[in-house]
Structure 1
């Protein structure tokens, strides 16, 4: 089947060449004939146009490819090839004219010979033919290189799409695993608090149960939501999370949070900010006397900036955690918004700081990017 298509394409290109040459010859014969007021013998036309066509393809398919094959030798190959082609063209036309005169297919004045005047006339014709031949050669090469580049780009995009599909699947699996770890942590710690305090703080306990229920519903439903959620919705869950931990610590935790209206109005991938805050309570020293918990989400210089900081838990930090949750966040952010987004975390003195910076333009156009990826994958 592939061979039949190749042969069919070859014949199609062959007939296109024949048609173009036919139209060119007809135009030139008629135009020159009307200009000089006379037409030559058909045999004379056929012989000279066979020379023209032959030299055209000799130049385009053999000499020019040879001249430009190696750039190091191009400076001497190209002039030599052009000179030899002209010499072939000149001699072929000259001896053909002699034959046409001898066979009485053409009339020439007495003493016809290879003069400078005749050579100049053939040179003009040669420049005309060689110009078209060179244009055909470069156009053909351009089309071949363009097709090759398009094929390579297509293969590269297919690899990128496949890699992103794998990363997306891996990220989803890791995120599901992360949620499976986080949710029981909230549940059992909060239920433990309720168990020990419900007899004395029944109102607060009931409020804690309600808050917990809403948080668990959000965490579970996030797997069924679109790839993005309103950052304001997630911030609501963060405030509930802080409330639950405040209950456990008798409202003694020092928490400074600030979320700008512009940031809250953006749609962002879910469970990023919530995971960062959960890591603070899970791994940080939240009751430090000097360092408060800081949680910020603002838009600055065209970027959504999310920052958290908390005192380092010196006991837990010595264990050398893997930061799996933070690495998962980084992978999800890079998949959603590009590899060059800002995401840094680490210890700074007595504080553990995380900072995310994502251009707002990418957040706003994430839907278009996801649609493109989905279309390509399908």
Structure 2
């Protein structure tokens, strides 16, 4: 019987058939034992009505009197003591009523005299016995519930620690890759400046191309760490230099609109450039009827970036990491503060990004 009760409590919400099995075995055990002692069985109605009363008391005490209540003060214990007294009274009245109904129907009961001392003692013992079983069952359920909550808490902590460890590993890898990419940036920048000084008189356009490239490299090779932010003006200047470079490279028509009403805001570095690069990598740049459109607006603490471009007829799929990586950075640095939507419709690719920067 003890093992069965334990099995019943292995889950927080045991299936109904477990309860039916428990009560079936419990009644068979008690009825058989009582019949062996008295050398007779009682009437079926006697067993049915009394066990219905016992089952009702068991679940009422388990789920309503005790439940998941926390006991912090004397008032809580007084409240439960009052409910216990009420249970005893109701159980007494219920048992007396059942005996009267059975007696009036001509069915014999174990203790017909409801005023005798034996009746009162047996009734008190029976009530406390059922309440004790119910209390044990409730304690087992509460312990299992606590175990599950502790297990869930520990699991969530382990997952969080694993995510932090993964993030630290990725950050370290990114920093190593960044350091490897810094192949003496001062040498490269000085070389570009030397080329600019040599050609600016004879070929001003090429000189501007070299200077724009030098500005791009200077910004890209010397950013802050991945978790810091830069002034929004610096990021916009970097985008403007990139667009200048692409205009000279392709001589293509494009619609560009950049407006910033809040120059004091900051943003994660090199966050927007991937979305701009996609326009030139995958867009049709030689169709004046469908010129690429790039719009960046910053107002009231919000940045809004929109791009629109026709997809190239000779389009080759890229490595597919640009937009997902951008979205991952947004999720890490602007969680619940951004919206990124992109997709193709009728050979036109649209991107819209909004970020609450303040």
Q: TM-score, normalised by structure 1?
A: 0.52
Matched, 1:313 2:304: no
Quick check: 1:164–1:335 contact (8 Å CA) kept in 2? no
Report SS of the residue matched to 1:243.
helix
Matched, 1:355 2:352: yes
Quick check: 1:67–1:81 contact (8 Å CA) kept in 2? no
Quick check: 1:307–1:354 contact (8 Å CA) kept in 2? yes
Once residues 121 and 277 of structure 1 are traced to their aligned partners in structure 2, the CA distance between those partners, rounded to angstroms, is 87
- Aligned partner of 2:146 in structure 1 is 146
1:121-136 matches, within 5 Å, as 121-128=121-128, 130-136=130-136
- Aligned partner of 2:239 in structure 1 is 238
CA change 1:330–1:137 in 2 (3 A) is same
Return the structure number with greater helix share.
1
Once residues 171 and 350 of structure 2 are traced to their aligned partners in structure 1, the CA distance between those partners, rounded to angstroms, is 23
Comparing 147-156 with 302-311, which one deviates more in the overlay? 302-311
Report SS of the residue matched to 1:272.
coil
Once residues 178 and 285 of structure 1 are traced to their aligned partners in structure 2, the CA distance between those partners, rounded to angstroms, is 32
- Aligned partner of 1:296 in structure 2 is 295
1:160-309 matches, within 5 Å, as 160-163=160-163, 165-166=165-166, 169-170=169-170, 173=173, 198-200=200-202, 202=204, 212-224=213-225, 226-248=227-249, 253-259=253-259, 261=261, 267-297=266-296, 305-309=304-308
Report SS of the residue matched to 1:296.
strand
Matched, 1:325 2:327: no
The CA deviation at 1:177 is: 5.9
- Aligned partner of 1:75 in structure 2 is 20
Comparing 143-152 with 171-180, which one deviates more in the overlay? 171-180
* Offset from partner CA, 1:330-356 (integer Å, 9 cap, x none): 333344456997544444334332333
CA change 1:249–1:340 in 2 (3 A) is closer
Once residues 337 and 84 of structure 1 are traced to their aligned partners in structure 2, the CA distance between those partners, rounded to angstroms, is 64
- Aligned partner of 1:105 in structure 2 is none
CA change 1:76–1:239 in 2 (3 A) is same
Quick check: 2:255–2:293 contact (8 Å CA) kept in 1? yes
The CA deviation at 1:142 is: 1.7
Quick check: 1:306–1:357 contact (8 Å CA) kept in 2? yes
Report the number of matched residues: 274
Report SS of the residue matched to 1:314.
coil
CA change 1:340–1:198 in 2 (3 A) is closer
Report SS of the residue matched to 1:139.
helix
* Offset from partner CA, 1:172-220 (integer Å, 9 cap, x none): 7469869989x99x98xx9899599623455x77766665444333322
Show structure 1 runs of 5+ residues with no match: 1-57, 90-112, 365-378
Show structure 2 runs of 5+ residues with no match: 35-109
Report SS of the residue matched to 1:320.
coil
* Offset from partner CA, 1:262-321 (integer Å, 9 cap, x none): 7x7665443221122133234433453123332334589x98653212233333x1x333
CA change 1:221–1:135 in 2 (3 A) is farther
Quick check: 1:306–1:356 contact (8 Å CA) kept in 2? yes
CA change 1:304–1:159 in 2 (3 A) is same
Q: TM-score, normalised by structure 2?
A: 0.55
Quick check: 2:307–2:350 contact (8 Å CA) kept in 1? yes
